[in-house]
Structure 1
Amino acid sequence: MARIAHQLRSEIIARDQMIEAYRARGDMRMVARLEAAQVSLEAGTSPEWLRLRDAAMHKIGAGHMHDMDSVVTGIFLPMWRVRAYTIAEKINIWRGKLWSRPFFWDDLIRDDLGERFTEFEVPVYFFVRAHDLTANPELSRAYFDRIEAPVKRFYVFENSAHSPLFEEPERAIEILLRDVMRNVRRN
């Protein structure tokens, strides 16, 4: 769903767009905090950026969902009500997230997938959010255009921040049933 292409470039673009959004709101305190939280191709993401990023995105409606205030109230707590996971699985999802970041984050954000993965033997579907600051839609499109696959489709969700399955479920289900499942049945 969140098709990253070159995440470090996406982080740089997101920071610039957030500075612009907060400046337009007149929130110069947040502008100063974002400007101090460095992100660059050379240095990567600073600890200041990683601490500020999610909260700053959510505050302008560009985080996981437009109306989500925080990861804790929007994802962490609701996840505990999902019956599909055992208690141990729920705990391990978050343990894995916290444990793994120091080991792979820098490699992940610097990896240009468009340079490494362009040929697929399976259908490829990109669900891209028009207002996504986590996975930049223009970078996703540029990556998609380089891909060779037996079937490939690019869908833009105009009313979603980062989670079209939750923000535009009817359209997502329609695409999954009409396009994705039809191609699964053919193969």
Structure 2
Amino acid sequence: MFTQKEYVEIDGHEHGMIIEGTDKENPLLLFVHGGPGFPEYPLMAAEKLAWLEDVTVCYWDQPGAGMSYNPKTQGELSIDRYVNDCLAITKHLKQQWKREKIYLFGHSWGSMIACLTAHAHPEHFRALITSGQMGRHRESTKDTLKFLERSAAVRGEHGVVKRVKKVKIDDTLHENADYRMLLGKVNKYGGGMKKNGYSNTNSLVDIMKCRAYTLRERMNILPGAALTYKQVGKEMMDVDVAERTKRFEMPVYIMHGRYDYQTSLLEAERFFEKIDAPHKDFNVFENSAHTPFIEEQDKFIQLFQQILQNDGVTS
């Protein structure tokens, strides 16, 4: 197995990435993490997802996240900026690894960026794969709040029920500190990163144990995530990904957890129904929340290998 860490400058800002694999001749995949502003390499490294036998994976830290956090150079962040940067990283990888096309994998917020990039620049990608697929974040947030209210009521946490009812889904929601605190309950109730729970403490442990990151890069993650959400939260709330990406020129594969209440299953299903592609496939993971590729790894690897076979990569 090999692990490479590198930095690439785009428009005066340094982007960090970690590239891992077992065979440099394997197909190449760009992983677009969620958040916004929350890199997932520490989680992936801790869980040791077994897909490195089949692909070489580039874990790119987006502007404002971990290896790519620098308020002095990153400037104003926007969805279009992330799409442009994703395209630049794609071109860099294709040139560096001498690939005609690569796979694109988007998780959560990253599914939005991956979809917009693949839709606008299809010539670079063999297939689009997403998990925690975003659709209309405003509508997804309504589903999240219903889940919180229902779960709190079952547990007799009447104070939480009252707090949920006070939340207004408006243009200032991304600045609502009480709402951000409530989102921690999604993890507690089994609708967050993992159905069986994945607390902020669990996340911090994975981050601090991540040897590939310097101490400064580890410390960048929390302030980076806060700053990033503050800058793009309102714009994210207004986007309808299905309306922005009605047609794809490559196969599209979506994997979603039944218990995902960070990105609504209903919104993911609506997105799937509305888009057109040469081939599209939707798989629901019955025992997962927001990270089915971690929670049900055997099923994910089986489906992932089938994607590669469909593309003629493996025999």
TM-score (norm 2): 0.53
Q: Tell me which of 4, 10, 17 is aligned to 2:147.
A: 17
Query: Aligned equivalents of 1:183 and 1:80: distance in 2?
Result: 38
1:64-103 alignment runs, 5 A limit = 64-71=193-200, 73-83=201-211, 85-87=212-214, 89-103=217-231
Do structure 1's residue 58 and structure 2's residue 192 form an aligned pair?
no
Do structure 1's residue 153 and structure 2's residue 281 form an aligned pair?
yes
1:127 is paired with a residue whose SS is strand
Which position in structure 1 is the counterpart of 2:132?
Answer: 2
Contact map agreement 2:189 2:197 (CA 8 A) in 1: no
Query: Aligned equivalents of 2:138 and 2:172: distance in 1?
Result: 7
Contact map agreement 2:192 2:260 (CA 8 A) in 1: yes
Which position in structure 1 is the counterpart of 2:61?
Answer: none
Structure with higher RCO (Cα < 8 A, 6+ apart): 1
Q: How many residues align?
A: 180
Which position in structure 2 is the counterpart of 1:35?
Answer: 165
Which position in structure 1 is the counterpart of 2:312?
Answer: 185
Cα shift at 1:81: 3.0
Q: Which has a greater percent of strand?
A: 2
Cα shift at 1:58: 1.6
1:67 is paired with a residue whose SS is coil
After superposition, the CA RMSD in angstroms is 1.9
Distance 1:26 1:107, change over 3 A: same
Q: Which has a greater percent of helix?
A: 1
Contact map agreement 1:11 1:39 (CA 8 A) in 2: no
Which position in structure 2 is the counterpart of 1:129?
Answer: 257
Q: Structure 2 stretches of 5 or more lacking a match?
A: 1-130
Query: Aligned equivalents of 1:173 and 1:69: distance in 2?
Result: 21
Cα shift at 1:35: 1.6
Q: Deviations over 1:15-53 (max 9, x none)?
A: 0121012112222121112222x132x445233212221
Q: Structure 1 stretches of 5 or more lacking a match?
A: none
Q: Tell me which of 249, 268, 291 is aligned to 1:140.
A: 268
1:39 is paired with a residue whose SS is coil
1:125 is paired with a residue whose SS is strand
Which position in structure 2 is the counterpart of 1:116?
Answer: 244
2:311 is paired with a residue whose SS is helix
Cα shift at 1:67: 2.4
Query: Aligned equivalents of 1:94 and 1:181: distance in 2?
Result: 35
2:312 is paired with a residue whose SS is helix
Distance 1:173 1:80, change over 3 A: farther
Structure 1 outlier segments of 4+, above 4 Å: 88-95
Identical aligned residues as a percent: 24
TM-score (norm 1): 0.86
